[in-house]
Amino acid sequence: MVAKDKKGAFKDYSPIGFLDHGVKGSPMRKAKQTTFQPLDLASGLLVEDYTETESEFKAVIEWVFEIPDDADPQFIEVKRGGVVPLTGDVIATDKNYNALAADMYPPREDRAHQCALTIKITEDGKPKKDATVWIVDPTVKRMVVNTLLNEGNAALEKFVDPDSTNPWPDPVTGGVPNRADLRSAHNAAINVVNKALTDPLPWEEVMKVLYYGQSQRNGVQMVSFLKNYFSGPFTAVIDGTDLAQSRFDKYVTDSKGTHAPTMVRPGEVMVIVVSPSAKAFRVWVIKETIKPAMTSDTIELGTAAHPPTFETDTTAK
């Protein structure tokens, strides 16, 4: 909610919770009472959690906002949705309202079948802070990453050109990828750029093309290129584009190398992690299967079980 204070300044307010009237299958249904459910900043609900009525889809939820007494609510902003002006009288906080029919609310019992997924990252034996974590579907349509793929493919074609007047060095040092890595990435590029724009592409191949497309002959320079690329063009596309995916979560790891758990339904999800440091750049692309019986899952990256998928370490010999 955006509200205007007495000085005319606008300020954003996130919902502090919602009213749960109870639905079929939940403990609150049996109790037959309205309960305030607090939310933290990592919480959220998807429209697909809601049921379909006879004539249309409706998403009904009674959000609770806390704003100063002298603030004047102006409009509601919905993430990736739009702006809805608040017209008419603002609902008074001391007025009681009857609950809607139970099937108008999200099926709360569905959360009992979700898994709390957490990513934990360790680098050089220490928790890695400020790594970016994306949790998305296992595939992405080519149209979303088409420009990035074409640019990566063009770069890789030059790297593997046998007639180049400036051939790729062999052997390589300082974390620079070798010719075999570049040939593998180029083969992946050929595969994905020949797909239709609406075709789903596996993130593993997409990330291989994007990563090695930033290759440089000097490890320090390559780390710099990777940092600028993944914080700039890559993030702009992934964060600023409608991926047409059923889930999209993004986190930045804290001082413990982790983040608040995200609720995931059973099935496959893709975990993409970008982790820059002073002398290295690491990327993980991990597919995780969430089983129906799982209530929590922690993926520890940077371990022997989950080394970086792609890595440029300038300290490497």
Domain spans of the chain, in order of start: 2-109, 115-313
Q: For 193-197, 201-205, 213-217, 293-297, which range has the lowest pLDDT when averaged over its residues? A: 293-297
Task: Write down the H helix ranges in 126-202.
Answer: 142-159, 179-193
How many beta carbons lie within 10 A of that of residue 71, not counting itself? 19
Question: CA 192 → CA 1, 15, 149, 188, 205, distances in Å?
Answer: 42, 41, 8, 6, 8
Q: What is the pLDDT of residue 88?
A: 56
One-letter amino acid for residue 126 of the chain:
K
Query: Average of pLDDT values for 262-284?
Result: 93
Helix (H) or strand (E) holding 126: strand 126-127
| Percentage of residues of the chain with pLDDT beyond 90 | 46
Phi, psi of 109 (to 5 degrees): -65, -20
Question: Token digits for 284?
Answer: 């993980």
Question: CA 137 → CA 80, 86, 271, distances in Å?
Answer: 18, 34, 9
| Contact residues for 222 (Cβ-Cβ < 8 A; gap 6+) | 175, 176, 214, 215, 216, 281, 312
Helix (H) or strand (E) holding 271: strand 267-276
How many beta carbons lie within 10 A of that of residue 168, not counting itself? 19
Give the integer Cα–Cα distance in Å for 245 and 86.
Answer: 30
Contact 51, 107 (CB under 8 A): yes
Report cis status (omega within 30 of 0) of the bond before 233: no
Scanning the structure block, which residue is given the tokens 């429209």? 47
Question: Token digits for 255?
Answer: 């001082």
Write the pLDDT tens digit of every residue in 213-233: 999 999 999 999 999 999 999
- Of 19 and 21, the structure prediction assigns the larger pLDDT to 19
Q: How many CA atoms lie within 13 A of 204 on its CB side?
A: 9
Contact 298, 313 (CB under 8 A): no
Is 128's pLDDT higher than 80? yes
Task: Check the CA dihedral 265-266-267-273 and report its sign.
Answer: positive
Task: Check the CA dihedral 187-189-191-193 and report its sign.
Answer: negative
Is 26's pLDDT higher than 80? no
